[in-house]
Amino acid sequence: MLCVVLTITLACYVYRYRKLKVIKVASPVFLCITLLGCAIMYTEMAAIFPVLDVYSCVATKWTRHMGFCLTYSALLLKTWRVSLTYRVKSAHKLKLTDRQLLQWLFPILFIMGIYLGSWTISSPPEAIYIHDWFNLKFRQCDYNWWDHSLAIGEFLFLLWGIRVCYNVRNAESFFNEAKHISWAIYSITCVNIIMVMIHLVILPSADPDVKYLFGFIRIQLSTTVTIIFIFGPKFYRVVKGQGDTWDNRARARGVTASFSLNGVGLVHEETPDLYQENEELKEEVQKLAAQVEFMRIVHMEMNNRHLKPKHGSFFNQSNTAQSPVVKSMYMKFDSTDSPGSRICPAAELISERV
């Protein structure tokens, strides 16, 4: 219950600081949906606390699976947006707004609701008596093909999430949003596999206190760790007073607010700053023009039979001295493009074709 209260408080802080860049870039709507799913998953511990009956077993199934669907569907849809934008090979920017992602989220929740509703109406889970290692009996919710089918579906969903996270492992993003989501997905997958092995193989006849303890550990290692991975770095920057400043490392690699490699940095709720975009475009065009001029001079010197290559020139292996023309153009190109900067993907694509 304390975790539920803290999660709701964290959602209030997300709404309060929604205009800061570190929160706005990560889509405050999806952050609140993630926290809502985490709060629902926490309530599973309250559902399985009393002596189990049909109603508590139904509440257990709904809180566990609906909370899982809300939390990790919201996270994986954002990562899927990153993957789609990162794999685009053209200079055209691919924009997927939060509203478009919500159109994908609602069918997932609808399918989960239909499945759980059909399960509850047709064959509600019942509490059955089982025996522990002291031959004492207690009640536990039974597991049938409804549970097994849903467990297999969630496991396949996590495998798809791992694939998406692996595809974006090299994607640059503001505030490392994609990397933190990947850590959360890897964590929940490992925790679920370990807990299934403990319940079915290692300790199948444990007493109810031990089973409740392992249920608590599973919730903390999955839900709490997810909250720490996703929201810890964001509010750390807010506490340090850096929540409204762009990540300098991302900008140094060429990730700009108007042209992001992964779509996370695209803020769709605001009118785009045309002056900022024009300045960035001018800067990219200047870098591209310098590179094209440099390549033109190099190719002219390579194919010019009137110029005799000197020993140790630009085109020799030793590279001890360059020709004056190429050296001047090379220095000019270095001055226009600093070592920490990089041209945008569109400019790189054009330069490769040139």
- Do 226 and 298 have their domain in common? no
Residue range 125-132: average pLDDT? 86
Are both 186 and 45 inside the same structural domain?
yes
Domain boundary among 218, 252, 286: 252
Residue 58: C-alpha distances to residues 47, 66, 68, 154, 167 (Å): 9, 12, 15, 18, 37
**pLDDT digits 0-9 by tens, 322-333:** 455 555 555 554
CA dihedral 95, 101, 107, 112 (to 10 degrees): 140
Indicate whether 152 belongs to any domain: yes
In a domain, 261, yes or no: no
Both 174 and 61 in a single domain?
yes
What is the model's pLDDT at position 334?
52
CATH of the domain at 41: 1.20.1070
The answer to whether residue 269 is domain-embedded is no
pLDDT score for 266: 41
Calpha distance 330→300 (Å, rounded): 14
pLDDT of residue 93: 56
pLDDT at 335: 52
Average pLDDT of the residues in 31-36: 94
Q: Which residues have a Cβ under 8 Å from the Cβ of 131 and sit 6 or more positions away?
A: 137, 205
Asked whether residue 83 is domain-assigned, the answer is: yes
Domain span including residue 188: 2-252
Whether 258 is in a domain gets the answer no
Same domain for 36 and 83, yes or no, is: yes
Q: What spatial distance separates the first Cα and last Cα of the chain, rounded to whole Å? A: 62
Are both 278 and 248 inside the same structural domain? no
Percent of the chain exceeding pLDDT 70 equals 72
pLDDT of residue 257 exceeding 70, the answer is no
Whether 138 and 222 share a structural domain = yes
In this prediction, residue 108 carries a pLDDT of: 92
- Tell me: the pLDDT tens digits for 179-220? 889 899 999 999 989 988 888 888 878 888 888 999 999 999
Report the alpha-carbon distance of residue 257 to residue 266 in Å, rounded: 6
Q: Which two three-digit tokens encode residue 312?
A: 């140790």
Q: Are residues 281 and 236 in the same domain?
A: no
Residue 265 placed within a domain: no
Residue 261 tokens read as 């490699």
Average pLDDT over residues 111-126: 92
Residues 245 and 283 in one domain: no
SS (H, E, C) 296-318: HHHHHHHCCCCCCCCCCCCCCCC
165 shares a domain with 24: yes
Is residue 31 included in any domain, yes or no? Answer: yes
